[in-house]
Amino acid sequence: MHTISQEDKKIILDSIRDIPDFPKKGIIFKDISTLLSNPKSLNTLMTHLENRYKTYELDYIAGIDARGFIFGSILADRLGLGFVTIRKKGKLPYTTVAEKYSLEYGFDEVEVHIDAFGDNGCCQTGTPAKVLLIDDLIATGGTAVAATNLINKVGAKCVEVCFVMELGFLNGRKEIDAPVYSVLEID
């Protein structure tokens, strides 16, 4: 299993801008737009992920709306795999399966096409499709739990959930029913 060097971690972390008091006072927002606009940092991240996942024998990469789409589609292209979008409710045009998750005040929902990973979630060999789920950040984990449940609900298998950053002090990984890998851990 490929691990990231301290030097590469520093390149990635140094490219992420901190925005104090956004979206509200007391929060330090981790802005990845500066990572995306820095070719060296983005290439460092994506090369690490490519090296990590090239031996996993994956069938698909799935990304969570919307920043997971960026990292997931680049990784899928590098690995020669299909990319599947897990979207917020009402954004997908075909028959979907949905999963609700809790927010601080209420609920939200994510969806995936019923056939996103092949018929009954199976690849051409008839076995459940092996899927890597990716997103930019894990905080409380609600969206990732819902997305993992969706992948499994349509018959595929979520083999790992990958995040660029993890806010470890929120312990969001504890409810995810799959192995979790975070490139950067922020405490």
Question: Looking at residue 98, what is its pLDDT?
Answer: 97
- b (16+ CB within 10 A) / e for 168-186: eeeebbeebebebbbbbee
Of these residues, 67, 160, 173, 185, which one is catalytic?
A: 67
The question of whether 166 is a catalytic residue gets the answer no
- Kindly tell me the sign of the dihedral angle through the C-alpha atoms of 70, 64, 152, 163: positive
| Res. 2 pLDDT band, cuts 50 70 90 | confident
Average of per-residue pLDDT across 116-144: 90
**Integer distance in angstroms from the first to the last C-alpha of the chain?**
24
CATH of 57-186, picked from 3.30.565.10, 3.40.50.2020, 3.30.300.160, 1.10.1530.10, is 3.40.50.2020
Please check whether residue 62 is in contact with residue 109, taking contact to mean a CB–CB distance below 8 angstroms.
Answer: no
Token pair of 87 as six digits: 């979207």
pLDDT in tens, 146-169: 999 999 999 999 999 999 999 999
pLDDT bracket for residue 1 (50, 70, 90): low
173 is catalytic: no
Q: Where are the domains of the chain?
A: 57-186
Q: If you average pLDDT over residues 7-36, what whole number do you get?
A: 95
| 64 CB-near residues (< 8 Å, 6+ apart) | 86, 110, 133, 134, 135, 143, 144, 147
pLDDT of 137: 95
Catalytic residue among 52, 78, 104, 166: 104
pLDDT of residue 116: 96
The Cα 52–Cα 157 span in angstroms is: 18
Query: Where residue 13 falls among pLDDT bands split at 50, 70, 90?
Result: very high
**Percent of the chain whose predicted confidence (pLDDT) is above 70:** 98
The string of pLDDT tens digits covering residues 53-69 is 999 999 999 999 999 99
